[in-house]
Structure 1
Amino acid sequence: MDFNSIGYFQFDNLIQTRTPFLLVILDNVDLNDWYKSVTKMHLDNISLPSTPEGALEAVKGKSLPPHFAVVVLDRDEKSAPQVAAMLEQAGFINSFYVKGGLEGLLKERQQ
């Protein structure tokens, strides 16, 4: 299977346009300094802090339809691809991970 990754532009666009999706946050990643006001409230509402081991059960606990978009963000892309793969195998057909994790977002954001 080929699992989807998204970069800074796609990730930021999802946040800025307040697109409905679930953001699974691993490794205690904190984006609070990046977004303000209404955009920050959207980010707070869609965020689901978790661990790689507990992510599947946490997402299942949200009772989302299988087509609902789920984006996994970790610090350095070490666990997010596996979590996205696990979610897709469990039936969440729109599972993505952020390429490079938070470190990748920071690099791409500065370009």
Structure 2
Amino acid sequence: MEKNTNRFPMSQVYGFLLSLILTFAAAGIALKTSLSFHVVMWIIGSLAVVQAALQLFMFMHVTEGEDGKAQVINIVYGVFCALIIVVGTIWVMSFGMHNH
């Protein structure tokens, strides 16, 4: 049976609205609360991870397709590359000046 592709994409609208809510929640927490810097950073980081997962499922169509295993491998590889870049950048910026 063929899917109806002419309907309005409500799931994308819901994903967009949820992304906006998460963004405004992070901004509100950062600007309007008196929490410590570290707590605010952990909350913003957690909301960012939730928003990234939301966008993967709502906009990137991770659950669609016949070969779900390849999509999971690609996502794991992308997360691995991002972690290497972020951790490597922090390491170089923190400890790279000790040789001078």
User: Given the two structures, how large is their TM-score scaled by the length of structure 1?
Assistant: 0.24
The structure whose Rg is larger is: 2
More helix by share: 2
User: Given the two structures, how large is their TM-score scaled by the length of structure 2?
Assistant: 0.26
